[in-house]
Amino acid sequence: MIGAKTTDNARDCRLVTLAGILPDVDGLGLIVDAANRAFGGKKTFYYFQYHHYLLHGAFGGILITLLVTCFARRKLRVALLALLVFHLHLLCDLVGSRGPDPVDLWPIFYLGPFSKDPMWIWKGQWPLDAWPNRLLTVGLFAWALWLAVPRGYSFVGVFSRRLDKIFVEVLRKWHKDLSARLFGAR
């Protein structure tokens, strides 16, 4: 939503969006851990070792910002927005991303992977599947769908421009049909 409201082209919007998603690349160890368990390999704990440690700090913020800025049209704007959404990601993780058990808190190591200090943790952290996260997700998703109609691009474009074009066409058709039903058939 930040990218959609603050950029003036689809590329920069996608890059700002990626800057908010890329910190979780350090959680891909989960796939290796699951594969090792599924295929009888040595038990590994890459997810627990590296998630919130490698890219959820200043190093990750700088690395991700530099990466997305290289591809931006409006470099300074994208750099500042990338830093903003990166830190928003950290704040959201700190506030609402614990596991189902109240002691399953996920700290942020802001100087990781170089140091475990300072460690940011909040004991009031709500579970990842808690109602505030669900409500926020539904609201932001609806807003994103709504914005895609006039803008002509959506969050799907982060992954595929071709699919995004199809997705936006479908949304526009639904919007037109809904408008006709609500306002045209009086």
pLDDT (tens digit per residue) in 46-97 = 998 899 899 999 999 999 999 999 999 999 999 999 999 999 999 999 999 8
| pLDDT, average across residues 164-169 | 96
Higher pLDDT, 157 or 20: 20
Distance between CA atoms of 82 and 5, rounded to whole angstroms?
14
pTM for this predicted structure: 0.85
In this model, does residue 166 exceed pLDDT 70?
Answer: yes
Give the least confident one: 40-44, 45-49, 99-103: 99-103
Burial class (CB in 10 A: 0-12, 13-18, 19+), 2: middle
| Per-residue pLDDT at 114 | 93
Mean pLDDT across 102-128: 90
Q: Give the pLDDT of residue 11.
A: 94
* Full DSSP string of the chain: -HHHHH-SSHHHHHHHHHHHHGGGGGGTHHHHHHHHHHTT-----HHHHHTTTSSSSHHHHHHHHHHHHHT-SSHHHHHHHHHHHHHHHHHHHHHH-B-SSTT----EETTTTT---SEE--TTPPBTTSHHHHHHHHHHHHHHHHHHHHHS--GGGGT-HHHHHHHHHHHHHHHHHHHIIIII--
For a pLDDT cut of 70, what percent of the chain falls above it? Answer: 99
Q: What is the pLDDT of residue 185?
A: 56
Q: What per-residue confidence (pLDDT) applies to 159?
A: 87
The pLDDT of residue 99: 83
State residue 113's pLDDT score.
Answer: 93
Phi then psi dihedrals of residue 20, to 5 deg = -80, -20
Looking at every residue in the chain, the average pLDDT score rounds to 93
Given a cut of 60, whether residue 157 has pLDDT beyond it is: yes
Confidence at residue 24, expressed as pLDDT on a 0 to 100 scale: 95
Residue whose C-alpha is closest to residue 84's, from 19, 155, 18: 19
